[in-house]
A and B are shown apart, each in its own frame.
Chain A
Amino acid sequence: MKSSTSTLAMARAIRKNALQMVHRAKASHIGSALSIADIMAVLYGKVMHHDPFNPLSQTRDRFILSKGHACVAVYATLAETGYISHEDLLTYGQDYSWLMNHISHKVSGVEFSSGSLGHGLPFGVGKALTAKCRRENWITYVLLGDGEMDEGSNWEALMFASHHRLSNLVAVIDCNNLQSLTTVTETLSLEPLAEKLSAFGCDVSEIDGHDHSSLADALMHRCPNKPRAIIARTIKGKGVSFMENQVEWHYKAPTDEQLAIALQELGMKE
């Protein structure tokens, strides 16, 4: 397992590549990608058992991005870990590119295509159920958005996971408190989320979603007979001061100037 220093470096690289992809493609959703960069770095850099040279290894841990619009963070992670190349990232968002503007299972290392919210957790439940039935030890991680938790399908999945004691399922909720038009609080308040998840039978942790040590501890913690739910409190647009907590960065792509400023803030060269 890698050290926190290297996961911090990976997170910066994920942010850099995500910004460059979105800028080049004039695409949306950079805010959503920046909020999960630390989660991705810790998952792939420290926690998950995976092998980029054997992406379909039966013993691999499975990762599912349910908030599929944050795909640039995953594509960047896959490039950092060797599933795809950094040259591949240059094709993001182009016509017929397999790196499409939502996460795609056609990319090496990606388990599931998502785009419509509320699909990843039930899918992950199916994987976790199969692992349990086969007595295989791999873990299924599903990364969701907090706005996505409006979808009833997620709660159906949690009820099932809890009922079937899927302790090999870890749901990570990226709680950046922003969704399409305004805050989650003003749209459809989720709170008290921890209590709700606990009432649905999950073993719940609530952490700073940008603290790598807390992330690692929470992601590696297991509870017998219960699925895990991690509320990762994050900042949408984290890492770029003018993008943080701004709804508009769900939609906008940075200009040349804005990209330069963003990379400077990250301490990264273009």
Chain B
Amino acid sequence: MRNAFIEELVSAARNGKNVALVVGDLGYKVIEPFADEFPHLFFNSGIAEQNMMGLAAGMASEGVHVFVYSIANFPTFRCAEQIRNDVDYHGHKVTIVTVGGGLSYGNLGYSHHAIQDYALMRLMPNMLIASPGDSFEARACMRYLIENPRPSYLRLGKSGERELHAGIPHISPGEWLPVIVNMRKSALITTGATLQLANELISKGAIDSHDLYSLPLWGMNEKNIQQKYINQFDQIVTCEDHLLDGGFGSWFLETAAKYNLGANKIQLIGLDSKVCGLVGGQSVLNKDGGLDIESIARVICRQ
């Protein structure tokens, strides 16, 4: 996904879009295509995330669509107040990009586990979360954000995601993307890299009762759109590589409660907090947290 991100950014710059890339001294072997071709649009803030985000907001106030790039929790929690006050409150066109959502950096320990970021970023009233499930969705997210610059958070996996769409889909904030659809009355809706796991769950027949959808663009302002989807299904299962508390599924529950759509038909799949502090590969920790095919199938079939 990160290669898709940088390729789309290069393309935008080549097409004359007023973009810039600010990194927090990270992005080795990722950002070079942009930095080499557009050195005047590339800035390394050093390991100084508060200044990184503040200066991005300053540049955006002068009309630049700034992409701020780092990994895991560094471009979010470290400079959360700058995001809240300087970017989101002012409505500046800053896209905050993190590589390594979820437990992508599982071996590097808790500091690098991005499993609370949805909870933080969805609290920002103007923030659009872009959490693609494969590289096609990543490209779609980038194209949408470049055409519609605004406070936004682009959460990318690290590497190795399979392409699960036939091509680059058309996406719109709050709109579900069909992935495996057979007109069932139950849906599995996922955001981010867990699309890979969810796709495997259904395509391998671990469950056969749910259609699969992806929701790559969502946030506080996209709750009202969910009404039509929640009404369409008898049961909805959400899936995310994020703690169960405060993330994508919680956002769904709030929506169902707000519009009186039957919160009891929403079932959440996510990471149990017992993974906090564990160290290991992504798939190992995901399993520990309840995010593997067998565990998910067991939970869904129990309903």
Contacts and interface: CB of A to CB of B under 8 A. Distances in A.
Interface of A: 105, 111-116, 118-119, 121-131, 133, 152-153, 156-157, 159-160, 164
Interface stretch (B46-54, B140-148, B236-244): B46-54
B196 interface: no
A159 B81 contact: no
A122 B63 CA distance: 16
B227 interface: no
A159 B48 contact: yes
A125 B61 contact: no
A122 B43 contact: no
Grouping DSSP codes into helix (H, G, I), strand (E, B) and loop, the B interface class, with mixed when no group exceeds half, is helix
Nearest to A58: B62
Given A122-B82, A156-B50, A156-B51, A127 B89 contact: no
Contact of A123 (B48, B57, B81): B57
Contact of A160 (B48, B60, B89): B48
Given A105-B90, A115-B85, A116-B85, A122 B61 contact: no
Interface in B50-105: 50-51, 53-64, 81-82, 85-86, 89-90
A172 to B, nearest CB: 17
Given A112-B90, A160-B46, 17 more contacts: A112-B86, A113-B85, A118-B50, A119-B81, A119-B82, A119-B86, A122-B53, A124-B58, A125-B54, A125-B55, A125-B58, A126-B57, A127-B61, A127-B62, A129-B43, A153-B82, A156-B48
B45 interface: yes
A131 B55 CA distance: 12
A131 to B, nearest CB: 8
A160 B53 CA distance: 13
A119 B55 CA distance: 9
Contacts, number: 86
B59 to A, nearest CB: 4
B29 interface: no
**4 A-B pairs closest in CB distance:** A126-B58, A122-B54, A126-B55, A156-B51
Contact of A127 (B51, B58, B81, B90): B58
B62 to A, nearest CB: 4
Contacts of A123: 54-55, 57-58, 61, 86
B40 interface: yes
Given A113-B85, A130-B64, A153 B51 contact: yes
Contact of B54 (A119, A128, A130): A119
Nearest to B43: A129
A122 B55 contact: yes
**Which of A123, A124, A156 has the most chain B CB atoms closer than 10 A to its own CB?**
A123
18 contacts: A111-B61, A119-B81, A119-B85, A122-B51, A123-B54, A125-B54, A125-B58, A126-B57, A129-B43, A129-B55, A130-B59, A130-B62, A153-B54, A156-B50, A156-B51, A160-B51, A160-B55, A164-B43
B87 to A, nearest CB: 10
A108 to B, nearest CB: 15
A113 B90 contact: yes
**Which of A116, A122, A125, A152 has the most chain B CB atoms closer than 10 A to its own CB?**
A122
A160 B45 contact: yes
A131 B64 CA distance: 11
A157 B55 contact: yes
Contact of A159 (B46, B53, B59, B82): B46
A125 B51 contact: yes
Contact of A130 (B45, B53, B58, B81): B58
Interface string B18-56: 000000000000000000000010010110101101111
